[in-house]
């Protein structure tokens, strides 16, 4: 990971420590083998900042919003908030592009996807926001998964650094 992404994760950790009841991310990650299995199951490569999240936290909840991760169980038996389960469901039901990974579904009105078709020089992928009110106009929400997570935290806690 780059120095910038590491700094973003330090700020995320500070926010988690400040708001432990609203930011439920525990050090309960999965092994790199599980991350590799998730990539194979979805036929994508996860960016470094998302791999870090999966191996450190596994997944989590952000003020009631489930941030999809890996549960460390067979993908055919898993259900939400498993990234493989949720993404496969989105592909089947809504026909999302095969290089999009569903990170978060905010009350059904906004969905956030990791777009693995675009990769920067550090291996990071942008996060795309899709809104039900503008289904034909998804926008770039963040340049990396880590920046997405911090931006969502700041949405709920805007007065924090």
Residue 114 main-chain phi, psi, to 5 deg: -80, 125
Q: Is the peptide bond before 81 cis (omega within 30 degrees of 0)?
A: yes
Domain spanning 3-156, CATH architecture: 3-Layer(aba) Sandwich (3.40)
Who contacts 144 (Cβ-Cβ below 8 Å, separation ≥6)? 5, 8, 47, 49, 124, 125, 126, 127
pLDDT tens for each residue of 28-75: 889 999 999 999 999 999 999 999 999 999 999 999 889 999 988 888
Please give the pLDDT value at position 142. Answer: 97
Please state, in angstroms and as integers, the Cα–Cα distance from residue 94 to each residue in 79, 87, 89, 111, 133, following that order.
17, 10, 8, 12, 15
pLDDT tens for each residue of 72-112: 888 888 877 899 999 999 999 989 999 999 999 987 789 99
Nearest to 111 by CA among 66, 78, 63: 66
In which element (H, E) is residue 39 found? helix 32-42
Domain assignments of the chain as residue spans, ordered by start: 3-156
CA 125 to chain centre: 11
């Amino acid at each position: 990971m780059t120095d910038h992404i590491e700094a973003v994760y330090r700020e995320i950790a500070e926010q988690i420590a400040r708001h432990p009841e609203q930011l439920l991310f525990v050090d309960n990650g999965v092994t790199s083998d599980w991350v590799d299995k998730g990539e194979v199951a979805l036929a994508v490569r996860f960016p470094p900042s998302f791999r870090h999240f999966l191996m450190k936290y596994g997944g989590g909840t952000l003020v009631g919003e489930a941030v999809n991760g890996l549960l460390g169980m067979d993908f055919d038996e898993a259900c939400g908030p498993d990234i493989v389960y949720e993404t496969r469901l989105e592909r089947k039901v809504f026909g999302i592009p095969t290089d999009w990974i569903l990170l978060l579904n905010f009350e059904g009105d906004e969905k956030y996807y990791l777009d693995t078709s675009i990769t920067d020089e550090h291996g990071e992928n942008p996060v795309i926001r899709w809104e039900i009110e503008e289904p034909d106009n998804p926008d770039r929400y963040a340049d990396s998964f880590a920046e997405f997570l911090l931006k969502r935290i700041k949405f709920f806690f805007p007065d924090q650094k």
